[in-house]
Structure 1
Amino acid sequence: MTTGEEGFLNPYTFIPAFPRDALPDAFGDAPPPSRDRLRAGCLTGRIAVTLTVETPLLLLDTTRAVPASTGEKDHRVYPVRLRDGRPHLPATTVKGMLRAAYEAVTNSRFGVFEDHDTPFGFRREAGYALGMVPVYVAGEGTLFRLRSALFEMYDKESGENLYPDGDLHAPVHMERLRAVIKKTKNGEKVVDFAPADSSVTLTAERGEKVVSGIAYITGPNVERKRYERFLYLPPGDKPSPLPLAREWKALAENWESLIRNYRAAHDDDELRRRRTPDGLPAGPDRRVGDGPGRLAWSPHLHDENHLRLRRSAICYARLVDGGVDRLYPVLIPRDLYPVAPAELLGEGLAPAPSYERLSPADRVFGWVAPKGAGVRPSAYRGRLRVGPVTCEGTAAETVDRFEGDGLPLAILSRPKPQQGRFYLAESRQRPQRPIKDGTPKEELYAQGRGLRGRKVYWHHAGLDAGKHWRIPGAEDPAQAPAGGRHREYARSWKAPDDSGRLTRDRRRHETVPGAEQRDSQNRSINGWVRPGTVFRFTVEVRDLDEHELGALAWLLGLPEGHFHRLGFGRPLGFGSVRLAVDPTGTELHTGAEYAAYYRTLTGGLPATDGVKVLDEARRVFEKEAAASPALSTIRDAMLTVSRGDPALPVHYPRTRPDGFPPGVPAPPDPRGRNFEWFTVNEQDEKSPRIRTKRSLPGLDATTPPLRIYPKKALPEETIRKGANGPRRKGGNKR
């Protein structure tokens, strides 16, 4: 294996969800059966199930979490959830796992699909700025074009502000200034300035001019940023409004939607609850360190004056055939896709709109009408119940514990459905086919596309269980491989600085011994349920036909070496569990048998072989699935994911450090820079050995796996460098 050829599986993938109009009749929409009687040929009874833990199971008691004694104050340490001295697995957790799998295997409607009716945003490429010009909003529908000059604000080496508190005037965002402008080979540049209302005289030398304008200060929001911008109308020019390519109302509505999208990408803690290295509160416009989340935030992210286009506002206009087509807050902006995810789902897969149109999972597990549907009945209880779940062993026998502040877990990535390359299919009719590699980013969420389906997590196959789940005491658990794989579940120790340097043998990232990272991005655990632990529960079913029961039987009897996923931390490898039917506690009878029993009220129900009944129902389901292209594709996909691939490690995308030896697996970056892979993936790579703009591969093995990219210089804001900084004459005195 050479640099750039290291394959991996992303922790999540998708079970395809097909349009439901071509499914066999038994899997279509219908009202649930009446509860007033049992149907003669349908089955009612109890299925006993054993659940065996394959990889450590995280059953965390969120109500008893406590702050860690070290690290940030928002960090929490979670104990194992216990009841009566045994690990407690709630029946609702098991039912949720079964429901999700049942929805997938029967290609049912989504039980929940909320908050997906707003288009996602995406970052435009730097070249998009070539069609942008700064404008001044003189009134509703009236935009005047401005000229732009570079304004040196930050030291090019340290990034420090050139105008700290002191006797130099520090311009602020939207402040009116007078400035001396000089032409350079890279454009115009401010060489001197003063507040517009000051009495300071500015002198223009040969080739320079004095103009009046506005400082457009977005703050130190980019590493090694050097310039802000000064916007002005050329003296003597008579401004004329720019023509509009779209109605003003549409431009204004799009602006507000875009700003809301910008803000939705960040929570309040990121913007307003930051602290300086000294522990003091810091506003969103202040830089508190290096790296993501520590730079300053641009004004449009936190200043309420930017939410709507107001008179005297400054922004950037995108010109199409000379007319204004879009307005943006910055030169290289985010933008909104033309369609929302809900538009790509399709009516047949959306949550059931009424009682008469329930899909198989709704009829078996229950249904609640979508919020605001206003229909009656508005809910259905379902015909399946998971009984209490009991653990066979005590906590002393089944729980591995971590003393003190526990084990810091790796950072779990947030869902990023705006990453269309991972979430979208080429079409709604073929959800198993990802978007073609190389598709431009702006063409991802578009009419005609489809969603990939239901998110599921790979079983982490090929682990050396004896080493992988054992924490070494004297070395960084995330940097030290175990049986050829890294412990993706453990958080690396802290890096000594932000350089990302490697150890002397260049096989790991250098970290500070024992410096565990505990902050608001991750959590710690006091223990887990160890592999081999057995839980038992029953599934009570009522009046299920052979197709409904057959799908459940298939899920309860996956082939050997296939696992369901349960509990917290599934992307990190936790929670692979094996289900099996226990014949001794399984009893199933038909409605006709129950009717005969109730007619006589003597004797009992006839003895039946519950496992045989389940096997017959499973064969009915498998026959229907084999005859349906959609259901057979889904079945094969579920088997692939639940089996895993022992040849490939499972982890979030990351880049390979410079100078790493060929053939050595790349470890996780202790600085937490998974975003670098996605940044590289959007670049146009000319090397024939490195494919970029990759989509999440499908499950049919027709496309190569994702690769760890070699680390490369990441693109930054395009900055035109001028010749010299401002002269800072006496005119800059306060």
Structure 2
Amino acid sequence: MTKKFLNPYNFVPAFPRERLPEELRDAPPPGHDLLRPEPDRWTGRIGVTLTVETPLLLPDTARPTPEHEPGHLVYPVRMRDGRPHLAQTGLKGMLRSAFEMVTNSRMGIFEEHGERLGYRRSAEEAQQVRPVVLAENRTVVLLEEAKLPSYPDEGQPVTYPDGSYPQHRDAVVAVIRNDRVLRLARRQDAGTLRGPEAANEKQVTGFLYITGRNIDGKKYERLFYKTENTKPRQLDEAQWDQLAAQWEALIQNYRDAHDLAEILHRQKDNGGGKARPTEWLGKEPGRTAWSPHLYEHHVEDPDRIKEDKYLPFRTALMCWARYEENRITALYPVKVSRDLYAYAPRDLVDDSLLPASTFEQLSPADRVFGWVAADASGRRPAAYRGRVRIGPVTCCQEAEQAVRSFPGDGMPLAILGKPKPEQGGFYLAESRARPDEPVGERTARSGLYKKPQTLRGRKTYPHHAGLPETYWEEPEGNGDPTQIPLDGVRFREFRRPRKPGQTGGDKQTAAEEQRDTQNRSIRGWVEPGTTFRFTIEVRDLDTVELGALAWLLSLPPGHFHRLGLGKPLGFGSVRLTVNPDNTELSSGEQWVSYYRSLNGPLPTADAEHTLKKAVETFTALGERSRALGTVLKTFLAAARGNPDLPVHYPRVSAPGQSPSAPTPPDPDGNSYAWFTENQRSGKNGIQPGRGRALPPLAPKARQLEIYEKGDPSTEEDGRKKKGNKGGAPRRSNRGSHQGRGHRGAGGHGRRR
């Protein structure tokens, strides 16, 4: 039984533009005041037929129906005049995105990528940190740490003599043994503390560092304590400023990962009222306690907070510090913390691919589809109207034939994963010169987002090829449709699994559907086989521009564009074909002849012949340019898909699951577990067989595989180690919901 799978998204590489054929380089666009008279300039219209291959989602987001579950919405199909309505803007966006790819144009939009991304440091890296206190006068004190038993998994938590629980940043005296707290008291109550009673016990003074029960299975908090060798050190101004900037950026990165409401406005079960951020409501994501650095200066109860701002160090700051070569190089709020990559995504993109800032920098996609200068750029002119226009779109079938409806509460869609550029192994290539080659395997997270690496290119969603005929049908019986294998390897990935009825082993799901803020439901979709017709009006396109557009409208059989919501789930594969009967094109030379006489019909060219020759001219550029040839091959590979492998988000199989059994979608939706397993490390870094990068869309690429959850650790030669069975990744509120969908239509995450 194969464990191989295709990721729902991949990339069409984006090469530096300086060495592209001259026709595809930057240039000012033609004016709109006249048509150029050359014989290779084309104006007219192209008739197009769009045929739906896999169900097309056209949700009417303006008319959602609230569901019983708070925050869950159900969308009907968008209709006009009794037929499904496909907006012209959606078609134009699809065509522009594809045109950008195949002409290796500049990116039309590349915002919000100037900040460094964060990643979770490994447990091994966490051993390099020390507890510290930093004060306002640029002094730092290195401390020692002791474990404070705090939660039921470790037996009886250590409390104060009066039975009250320790609080974050409390000043205390404590008795410790082997760096574990046995008993403690507030510093002002030191006289109530029973002192050391054995030779291996000692009394210390320090501060409590309590980040809360932010992870399932957590046992300890920490005591930061002083020793005889504890002495303050003075940091120079440059080092202090560097640490302040690093801390500010890291904390902001943590906080950007969450809506404040999900921290401050949680509700207890059974109408128990509002829950504090520090409260443990359960082990599920979002229900564990939240760490203080995520909310401190937002909390409404100031008595819980002894520091009202996290930056710059206006009051003493307790945290963890990376200590290298007798120097503090970074600060962290928790021991196993996030860290920031060395460079932001924008820093790794070649300047020739960034959005144009002047007319002279416009690439083919800008000149054909239009351009708007970046906000507040102050450029004049600040925009250019495109030279293509999508005409009205008409559905050729009535709703009874074109739309499949889902009664009742509709069908719950699977969670759409939030984009995760933090997973650099999926988003990065080795160099700008070879964006088609992913970063090397077994590259540690700390080795990502470094020069000369670059972004892979433009995201694309490969067609889900080879689906069984019954894939989109509801099976008979009361079983969960997502847990029933169809052809030995595929499952219905588009539907949300029902609630898990048990955990561990081969999970069984209950009868209750999962409808919450993570996903959306639909009341219908546009059926495969439905057709739409529209026109593309073109003005003054040169032969290469027309050829690139015509190439997109005449892909080989079995190749599809992607349109609408839910593309990662297989929805929205559509085929475009030119309708010759509704296509008319005239050259600039023919327009000149027409305007000279004004007493006859406008001469037109043989449209089929013109488009065919234009396509040949465009594809010839791909034969001359290795970069453009690679782009076109990759685009076609995505449009074709791979019928031999299932397409789904990364996931792991349950512990103990038979190796020969296929792995169904996880009812908990925890795709982050695969990324945890992918980073599993051994004595000498990431284990062999792990650290996989996203393979390119190439025939001989080694594909990704489903891992077993909690696979035993292995030696460097790949042999399994005795003992040390690893363990399932734990869920936490330390600051990242990896793998969970984000709020939005259909659970769609924020766009890059």
Query: Do Structure 1 and Structure 2 share a fold, with TM-score over 0.5?
Result: yes
Deviation, 1:197, is: 2.6
Deviation, 1:237, is: 5.4
Aligned to 2:626: 629
Change (3 A) 1:334 1:467: closer
Matched, 1:287 2:280: yes
Deviation, 1:163, is: 6.2
The residue correspondences of 1:320-399 to structure 2 (distance < 5 A) are 320-399=324-403
Deviation, 1:440, is: 1.6
In the alignment, residue 128 of structure 1 is paired with which amino acid?
A: E
In the alignment, residue 168 of structure 1 is paired with which amino acid?
A: G
1:414 pairs, out of 407, 414, 418, with 418
2:514 pairs, out of 493, 513, 517, with 517
* Helix, strand or coil at the partner of 1:289: coil
Higher mean Cα deviation, 46-55 or 462-471? 462-471
Change (3 A) 1:716 1:536: closer
Task: Please tell me whether the aligned partners of residues 140 and 248 of structure 1 are also in contact (alpha carbons under 8 angstroms).
Answer: no
Aligned to 2:167: 172
1:692 pairs, out of 685, 690, 693, with 690
Task: Please tell me whether the aligned partners of residues 59 and 89 of structure 1 are also in contact (alpha carbons under 8 angstroms).
Answer: yes
Aligned to 2:709: 711
In the alignment, residue 60 of structure 1 is paired with which amino acid?
A: P
Aligned to 1:112: 109
Distance 1:76 1:470 in 2: 22
Task: Please tell me whether the aligned partners of residues 43 and 587 of structure 2 are also in contact (alpha carbons under 8 angstroms).
Answer: yes
In the alignment, residue 550 of structure 2 is paired with which amino acid?
A: A
Deviation, 1:309, is: 2.7
Distance 1:656 1:433 in 2: 29
2:571 pairs, out of 566, 569, 574, with 574
The residue correspondences of 1:623-662 to structure 2 (distance < 5 A) are 623-662=620-659
Task: Please tell me whether the aligned partners of residues 625 and 632 of structure 1 are also in contact (alpha carbons under 8 angstroms).
Answer: yes
Aligned pairs, number: 698
Change (3 A) 1:462 1:197: same
Distance 1:143 1:563 in 2: 60
1:256 pairs, out of 227, 245, 248, with 248
Deviation, 1:414, is: 0.2
Aligned to 1:213: 206
The residue correspondences of 1:188-337 to structure 2 (distance < 5 A) are 188-198=179-189, 200-204=191-195, 205-207=197-199, 208-234=201-227, 239-241=231-233, 247-279=239-271, 280-304=273-297, 305-337=309-341
Distance 2:580 2:73 in 1: 42
Percent of aligned positions that are identical: 49
In the alignment, residue 248 of structure 2 is paired with which amino acid?
A: E
Higher mean Cα deviation, 468-477 or 213-222? 468-477
Task: Please tell me whether the aligned partners of residues 244 and 324 of structure 1 are also in contact (alpha carbons under 8 angstroms).
Answer: no
Task: Please tell me whether the aligned partners of residues 442 and 688 of structure 2 are also in contact (alpha carbons under 8 angstroms).
Answer: no
In the alignment, residue 634 of structure 2 is paired with which amino acid?
A: A
Deviation, 1:366, is: 0.1
Task: Please tell me whether the aligned partners of residues 244 and 323 of structure 1 are also in contact (alpha carbons under 8 angstroms).
Answer: no
Aligned to 1:604: 601
Change (3 A) 1:466 1:716: closer
Deviation, 1:611, is: 1.7
* Helix, strand or coil at the partner of 1:432: strand
Change (3 A) 1:161 1:83: farther
Distance 1:462 1:229 in 2: 54
Deviation, 1:39, is: 1.4
Deviation, 1:178, is: 2.3
Change (3 A) 1:89 1:490: same
Task: Please tell me whether the aligned partners of residues 144 and 239 of structure 1 are also in contact (alpha carbons under 8 angstroms).
Answer: yes
Deviation, 1:200, is: 4.8
Task: Please tell me whether the aligned partners of residues 148 and 158 of structure 2 are also in contact (alpha carbons under 8 angstroms).
Answer: no
Higher mean Cα deviation, 26-35 or 463-472? 463-472
Distance 1:669 1:149 in 2: 38
Distance 1:421 1:308 in 2: 33
1:664 pairs, out of 661, 666, 678, with 661
In the alignment, residue 176 of structure 2 is paired with which amino acid?
A: K
Distance 1:431 1:157 in 2: 49
The residue correspondences of 1:30-41 to structure 2 (distance < 5 A) are 30-40=27-37, 41=39
Pairwise CA RMSD of aligned residues? 2.2
Distance 1:272 1:177 in 2: 29
Task: Please tell me whether the aligned partners of residues 355 and 376 of structure 1 are also in contact (alpha carbons under 8 angstroms).
Answer: no
Change (3 A) 1:427 1:325: same
Higher mean Cα deviation, 328-337 or 455-464? 328-337
In the alignment, residue 698 of structure 2 is paired with which amino acid?
A: D
Aligned to 1:64: 63
Aligned to 1:136: 133
Matched, 1:491 2:496: yes
Task: Please tell me whether the aligned partners of residues 159 and 184 of structure 2 are also in contact (alpha carbons under 8 angstroms).
Answer: no
In the alignment, residue 221 of structure 1 is paired with which amino acid?
A: N
In the alignment, residue 182 of structure 1 is paired with which amino acid?
A: I
Distance 2:236 2:333 in 1: 17
Task: Please tell me whether the aligned partners of residues 245 and 320 of structure 1 are also in contact (alpha carbons under 8 angstroms).
Answer: no
Unpaired runs of at least 5, structure 1:
503-508, 718-734
Task: Please tell me whether the aligned partners of residues 461 and 645 of structure 1 are also in contact (alpha carbons under 8 angstroms).
Answer: yes
In the alignment, residue 56 of structure 1 is paired with which amino acid?
A: P
Deviation, 1:274, is: 2.2
Change (3 A) 1:690 1:82: farther
Aligned to 2:303: none
Deviation, 1:129, is: 2.4
Task: Please tell me whether the aligned partners of residues 389 and 537 of structure 2 are also in contact (alpha carbons under 8 angstroms).
Answer: yes
Change (3 A) 1:238 1:287: closer
The residue correspondences of 1:430-445 to structure 2 (distance < 5 A) are 430-445=434-449
Deviation, 1:455, is: 0.1
